[in-house]
Amino acid sequence: MRIFPLISVLCLIVLVLILTILTQVGGVILLIALLIGLFFKKYVLLKTSLVFSSLYLVVTFFLIPFVAPKFGRVKIQENDQLNLVSNLYALCNRNYVVPELHDLLQELGKDLADEKIQLNILDANFPFIDGFPLLPHRSHNDGRKVDISLVYETSDGQYSHAVMSRSGYGVFESPKETEIKQYEICFEKGNTYYDLAKYIKLGMVNEQLIFSEKGTKILINKLTSSDIGKLFIEPHLKQRLRLNHNKVRFQGCKATRHDDHIHIQL
């Protein structure tokens, strides 16, 4: 085999893998687009790219939302009380949960609206296949987990509906001098990727906002009194917010730090 076809095949394999890791279905859709592309005589790359983009958008926004419930997962419905932090989560099919968790989130959103707090959703799960990982998360593979944002407020104490990075991840509410510094303990134990989330901010926004202790405590108290199994948050925030419920846990050093978001699971 000549060198250029070999490089093309390797690039294609890498691209299919990346699309599969990011979106679950993107790699398969790319292969279908390439098969269709075999019939094109002119402008092959342009036409194949257009076929891929169109097919991907139709499958993501019109087909999967109707098919996923047959496989036990539903798309998270957004409304005035509940919002995906970034459209990328919907574009990448990372916004699916089991119906039980969907109902719980909708109820939580209504409850929080009474407090003028909006429920901001980050990564959830892919639409299909139990055990299929939603990287970089270790456990979002069964529709029963979802990450949500901390609550922020403006300098005059009003709850904000916004978050501080484009992805909603990576802006750490770090320990104060007197608080337990879990990241240091985890670094010492050899987990060098404990603060990996700082690389997936996708840019800072709303830098004037500040962490709302009161709002985040209200959010967590509503969560612990709901039907969730447990939630993960860093030990220093548990200490600072005086969270004593046994559903509030530390995720362990093998995961990434949880002072930029809260992980909940059934």
Whole-angstrom distance, CA of residue 199 vs CA of residue 196: 6
Whole-angstrom distance, CA of residue 211 vs CA of residue 28: 41
The pair of structure tokens assigned to 218 is 């209200």
DSSP β-ladder status, 230-232 and 261-265: antiparallel
3-state helix, strand, coil in the chain (%, to 5): 40, 15, 45
| Contact call for residues 245 and 224 (beta carbons, < 8 A) | yes
Least Å from the CB of residue 177 to Zn ion: 28
Least Å from the CB of residue 260 to Zn ion: 11
Q: Which residue is nearest to Zn ion (CB)?
A: 263
Angle between helices 26-37 and 44-58 (to 10 degrees): 140
Least Å from the CB of residue 63 to Zn ion: 27
Residues that bind Zn ion (CB under 5 A): 147, 263
Residue closer to Zn ion (CB basis): 257 or 263: 263
Residue closer to Zn ion (CB basis): 147 or 260: 147
The pair of structure tokens assigned to 79 is 């409304």
Residue closer to Zn ion (CB basis): 117 or 255: 255
Closest Cα partner for 249 from 264, 224, 232, 263? 232
Whole-angstrom distance, CA of residue 100 vs CA of residue 265: 11
Angle between helices 213-224 and 99-113 (to 10 degrees): 140
The pair of structure tokens assigned to 170 is 């990576």
The pair of structure tokens assigned to 135 is 């990287």
Residue closer to Zn ion (CB basis): 222 or 263: 263
Residue closer to Zn ion (CB basis): 240 or 263: 263
> The tokens 């985890």 sit on which residue?
186
Residue closer to Zn ion (CB basis): 94 or 263: 263
Residue closer to Zn ion (CB basis): 201 or 214: 201
The pair of structure tokens assigned to 133 is 């990982």
Start-end of H helices in the chain: 3-23, 26-37, 44-58, 64-67, 87-91, 99-113, 182-188, 213-224, 235-240
Least Å from the CB of residue 263 to Zn ion: 3
Least Å from the CB of residue 251 to Zn ion: 8
